[in-house]
Amino acid sequence: MALKITRASDPITVERLNTVIYGPPGLGKTSLAFTAEAPLLLDFDNGSHRAANRKDAVLVSDWSDVAEMTADDLEPFKTIIVDTAGRALDVLTADIIKTNPKLGRGGALTLQGYGELKSRFTSFLKLLNSFGKDVVLIAHMDEQRSGDDIVERLDVQGGSKGEIYKAADAMGRLVLANGKRRLLFSPTDAAFGKNPGQLEPLLVPETSSPSFDGFLASVIQRIKDRLNEMTEAQREAMAEQQWFRDTLPEVADADAINALIERANAAGPACKVMLHNRAKEIGLIFDKSEGCYAEKQKAESEAA
């Protein structure tokens, strides 16, 4: 089968995202998750009843509660929330040991059992992704000491933590600063983050505010819009570079080169370099005082 190559100039439309939200207990991560678009919460933490704005949820007590999910089950929903990813792994761990006691010892997984946990949790994430929904993974924050510094990490067991990092398109942490909750996507020296939408620190509205409902939905949509803008901008840039590659070989005098200066400036550094190189090829030099190209001999004689 021929390799299907997506060219640099081809747009890649982002229609769904995996978003990780983590933070310390008590800041309202579940309430925030319920502000996603048409959410269904897989409640591994058994805490949905505490949310300020509870919506539809699956109360999970055993892995079998979610193992047989189908597209039909999720058809009314646009966002699937795993709350929390750490508790989901605990429930999955219990299922692994129940299914194959050799993979556990004293209630904990063996090394082989951890491999099974990583494999099955990765498959679970792929299953959620296959439904074409946005996925929000909620996680508690774990503070760890690194020398004299405190670093913030996901409170998730085993190698599955790495799989969550890799699967996340965006990762934000919910923090409390000066009595206000903020959602931060940019990483720091002491905290993980992924900020593909280049979002500024976001003030989370109070739960009593009308703007709270739909808040996370708007954040996810902003990230998608930003990524799609970048894709479209890249496509336009590549198309413009191709236009200069096709056109410049036909340009043979100073007037024609100068007519393209404004367009090359707008197209960016790559096109400016191509224009300059073509000007040199046909014996032109750039006259800084005039801001345009001129024949080399003419420019030098006027300068003398």
Q: What pLDDT does 155 receive?
A: 81
Average pLDDT over residues 160-180: 88
Could you read off the pLDDT of 183-232 as tens digits, one per residue? 999 988 888 899 988 899 999 999 999 999 999 999 999 999 988 887 77
Identify the CA nearest to 227 among candidates 17, 10, 9.
17
- Indicate the range of 36-40, 180-184, 191-195, 233-237 predicted with least confidence: 233-237
Could you read off the pLDDT of 93-147 as tens digits, one per residue? 999 999 999 988 887 888 898 889 988 998 998 999 999 999 999 999 887 777 7
pTM confidence score: 0.76
Bridge partners (DSSP) listed for residue 128: none
